[in-house]
Each structure stands twice: as C-alpha cells, then as structure tokens.
Chains A and B, each alone.
Chain A
Amino acid sequence: MNGSPYTGVIVGVRADEEGSRSKERVFSARDEKSEWDASTQPPELWNQYKTDFAPGTHVRIHPLLEWTELNIWEYIERENIPIINLYFDQGNGKRYRSLGCFPCTAPVDSVARNPKEIIEELTSGKFKDIAERSGRAQDKDGGGTLEALRKEGYM
C-alpha cells in the first residue's frame, strides 16, 4: 500500500476468523512505516470509533469486525447476494470455506450447495466446532504467522 494514492482501505476481516484479527479495531491506523502494534492501539468504546488521524496515516477500516461467519452467510442468504461458486460443493464433495491464494488454501469435505445448506452446517452440522480458516496454511506455524503478516501489510 505504500506509495499508493489511497489513505485508507476498507477490509472485510472479522474478529472471529483468527487470533490476530480478534485484536483488531474497527478503525485501525498504520503509521508511515506501515507499523501495526496491537498492544498500543487506542480503545474503541461503544460505537465511538477512532476517526482522527495524523497526516501520513494509512487507515484500515473493518466494518464487519464484529460479524461472525454465520452472520455473513445469513446476510448473503437474506439479501440474495451473488457469490463465487467455489464456496459450494464442486461436485466432488468438496468446497472452499475460506479462500486465499492457490498453494495455501485447501477445500473442506462438504456437500453444501447453497447458503442455506452452509448455514445448516455452521449451526448444527459438521462445522459447528471447526474453524472457518482451518484450511489456510498461513494461520498455522505456531500462531504468530498471520500477526507477523499483518504487520507487514497483509490483510
């Protein structure tokens, strides 16, 4: 993002996805060096967010931070939002629950073919106690990886 004309970016990360994301704020500032320090972030209270920024700050805005995976699917279902079909059974009993780049994303075993069946899987079915990003390699390796990536500018 450095050198781009944008001073902010709106990102769909959620606190329930992964440890380092759960430490995020809705308005998350990066300084000139793109540094993010989870431990020194100012608080966000109630629905009052940090909306004042020093010149040169790059802001990540996470409006969906408090949503859960289930909320997302319920919203997609309710509003009839078109999505890429990789999230549905590919005809071989596998679908993607979370999508990243090619080498580090693995599909899960699932025959869900639409948002309704995915909601069923998440609420009472097979994925009730299994995390969404369990097929994502960068979340592993002792847990520090995605936090380290976030500091480097990964979303």
Chain B
Amino acid sequence: MQRLNIVITGHVDHGKSTLIGRLLADTDSLPQGKLESVKKMCENNARPFEYAFLLDALADEQKQGITIDSARVFFQSKKREYIIIDAPGHIEFLKNMISGASRAEAALLLIDAKEGVAENSKRHGMLLSLLGIKQVAIVVNKMDLVNFSEIAFTKLKVEYSEYLATLGIKSDIFIPISAREGVNLIEHSASTPWYKGPTVLEILDSFKSVEEKENDDFRMPLQDVYKFTRDNDDRRIYAGTVTSGELNVGDEVVFYPSLKRSKVASIESFNTEVKTSVKESEAVGFTLQTQIYVRNGDVVARADQSAPKVSNRFEANLFWLGAKPLELDKPYKIKIGSAQSTIYLEEIKRVIDGDTLDRADEPSVGRHEAACVIFRVHDLLAMELFAENQKLGRFVIVDEYDIAGGGIITEVLEQYTTRRTKALHVNSVLVDKASESTEFEEELFALLRKHFPHQFN
C-alpha cells in the first residue's frame, strides 16, 4: 500500500492530539479494543472521554514496547497509509519538529478558531514554507466553540492568508473542523452547511506523494569518483544519487561549476541487470566516453536540458537553531547537495520572527529566528532556486561541528571577486579551453598515471 508522510503542526493546545486521536478512531486504525478500553477507563475514573487520551494510551503502550513507535503514528484511508510525524508544538521542541517535518511530504497546520492565530501558528507556517512543504492545508479547529460561525471562520482565513502571503505561500485550503465532535474530518457535517470544500481526509488523499511527482530535468550531485585498477579495469565511475530527472546511455552531460562535459558510456549498478537508463532517487554510477577530472560536490546535468546556476553569492531564507547566533563575516560551512564550502554571512536583510514578522538592522540572527540574508561562498557552487528545484535549492549551515541552521535559496546573485572582470574572464577562457581539449586532458591523465601510479589505486 502507498504511504504518505505527513506532519501535523500547530500551537500548543490548539487540538493536535485530539485531531490525531479522532483520525485514528474514525478511520478504524486503532489496535483492537483500544477505543473501548480507553472509554471504559474514563468511565471508571468519572472523567469525560477525550480523543487525545487515545494518544496518551498509545504512548504508554509504546513505552512498554507493545505498539510500534512513539514518534510516528499510522492510520489508513481507503487510498493509502499515512505516517504522522509527531511535531511538538512547544518552542523547546522546535529542533525536533524541524527534523521530523523536513521528511514530511504534506502538512496540516492547526489553528484554534476561538483563540485565533498564535505565535507558533505563524512560526510553524514559516518553517513549513522554509522546509519546502508545498502541500499544506490549514485546519481551523474548535469550530464548536464559535458556534460553527462562517463569519468567524472567514475572518480567521483572511487574517492567516495575509500572513501566509507575506511568506510567499499561497494556500487556499482552509477547513473548518471540530476534532472533538468529528466535524468535517471524514465526512461533511450538517453543522457547517456553508462549507463546500473538502474534508480533512479528502484533502489528505488528494495530496501527492513524492513518487507521484513528475520528472524534472536531470540532476545528480557527484558524491565520488570510483576508480578501479585490478585486472586492467580502468573504469572511472561517477557516483551519486539522482535528485531529479532521467539519464540515458549516450546522453551528453555537463558538470557544474567546472563546465566539463562528456557522453555517458555506461550505467553501472551493483548486482543488477545491465541498465541503460536511471531516474530520480536511484543511487547509481556511470562511466563517460572520455575521462575528465571533476570534484566531489559538482552537479551533473544533461547538455540538452536546463543548467543549474553557478555563483558564489546568493540570497536565502534561513532559520537558525544554533546555540550561538549567526554572525556577519564569521566563517561557517555550507553543505548543499553533496558539496561543501566555507561561507560568510554578508548581509542580514531582515529578521522574521513569529510575532512581529519583520525587524531590520539586526546585527545577528538568534536561536529560533528566521531571516532573509545574503551569503558569500568561498568557492563557486552549482545551485538552484528553491522554487525551481527543492533538493539543490536548500542547504544547511554548520557552526563548528553541528548543523546550526537550514535555508532555501531565493535568489542567485552576481559573483563577487576582488578582481572581478579579469578573474571571471580568465576563468571562463580556461574553462572553455579545458572543456574543448579533452585530448589534452587525456594525455595529462596518462602521464599522471604513468608517473604516479600509486595515486590511482
């Protein structure tokens, strides 16, 4: 059965556990007898039953090692199985929320109809957009507390849409629900005759899983070049995981930023039948018709398709989780695709925080804050706009030894160089020359191999 990873986020007490409990119960996904036993327990303790207790009961079981997982909960619709990645609402758990949510393919963002938009409603909305989760439905919960009023719902919808628009998110999916009463979760409810949109389960079933998405142009961040020498095997295998698109034997490929090019001679994979084509998410290697020298971290694209951008400056939306603030002109490490380089924060355009949204003239970006910034990289890197290619448009920043922040590229800026024009010119001439004269390269390689054989073992 097909699976979809979803994350349910929202401010503390806006009804996440109730929604999850109710979804589990109403889709018949609970272990046998669980609902009855929790109801009975409540009865015995003269306590009104709440669907949130189901989660507590499951958590207790999980502690004892009986059910599956405390971080994830499964439920099923007719169409597929859902894995709910738990996303704690509390700010201290933001790091865990982000680690979990970064693996989600779709999200439900819960807002309390009575309390309205809260700090974490905004923060989570922002983080979901930064994580690149495009499939988001906003679920307005506790509609029973506002008498299922269409006016209250519309007011909240307008307010939150305006906020989302400032983040560049267009979400027109707002669902009025009452998790406690099961309104609009699985079926439409008579309590909201004015609501004609999808129910929560309908919207979940309409989301696409990553595998269903269409192919884009071919991209593969180069992880390594494997060289073999035994038994006169002189293959150089260019290895990595395909992040998008398709590659076939005979295709001409270009490596970025080096601009070296060649044609694919063979596709290599371990212990499988001979392949002539590979596609997204496969981990593979290929050999080339000519031997070229490229660095790990280069991005491979097809010559007949679009090219990634190459620069050493870019603008990004970033969220910071490091213990120490992100500071200007201090060296950090960027990891993007399979490339790494030293990076410097050149400018903080504005700091976005959950409450006030925009603050200009900040000297640094603090923990749990997000910001719009400009970075300068030591080396030229192949990169993409996040809006065009998620996997090569996102990056993490390492401070000392830890991942301290993540972000998405919103604009690729003009290269900086101290002797800009000249260096650029010389660079491009050399690159052109180098890519034209593969013959030269082959001779050089033969010489190197002859005189430094131990380097090639």
Contact = CB atoms under 8 A, between A and B. Distances in A.
Note whether A and B form a binding pair. yes
Interface of A: 15-16, 18-19, 22-23, 25, 29, 41-46, 48, 50-54, 57, 66, 79, 129-131, 133-134, 136, 139-140, 142-144
Contacts of B65: 18-19, 131, 133-134, 136, 139-140, 143
Which 7 A-B residue pairings sit nearest by Cβ, starting from the closest?
A143-B63, A139-B65, A42-B402, A22-B71, A19-B70, A48-B396, A52-B401
Of A129, A130, A144, the most chain B CB neighbours within 10 A belong to A129
B64 interface: yes
B102 to A, nearest CB: 5
B321 A52 contact: no
18 contacts: A16-B68, A19-B62, A19-B69, A19-B70, A22-B70, A29-B401, A41-B95, A42-B95, A45-B131, A45-B406, A50-B403, A52-B333, A52-B401, A79-B271, A129-B32, A134-B65, A143-B63, A143-B64
Contacts of A22: 69-72
B109 interface: no
A53 B98 CA distance: 21
Nearest to A52: B401
Contact of B71 (A23, A48, A79, A129): A23
Contacts of B72: 15-16, 22
A42 to B, nearest CB: 4
Contacts of A134: 65-66
A139 B65 CA distance: 6
B309 to A, nearest CB: 20
B68 A131 contact: yes
B403 A42 contact: yes
B62 to A, nearest CB: 5
Contacts of A51: 335
Contact of B402 (A50, A66, A140, A144): A50
A46 B390 CA distance: 10
Interface residues of B, number: 35
A46 B68 contact: no
Contacts of A142: 63-64
B324 interface: no
B15 to A, nearest CB: 23
Contact of B401 (A15, A50, A140, A144): A50
Nearest to A27: B403
B36 interface: no
B398 interface: yes
Contacts of B229: none
B321 A43 contact: yes
A19 B70 CA distance: 5
Contacts of A143: 62-65
Contacts of A52: 333, 398, 400-402
Nearest to A123: B1
B352 interface: no
A32 B131 CA distance: 33
Contacts of A19: 62-63, 65, 69-70
Contacts of A139: 64-65
A16 B69 contact: yes
B295 interface: no
B31 interface: yes
B415 interface: no
A136 B71 CA distance: 20
A46 B394 contact: yes
A132 to B, nearest CB: 8
Contacts of A29: 401
A16 B237 CA distance: 35
B67 interface: yes
Nearest to A132: B68
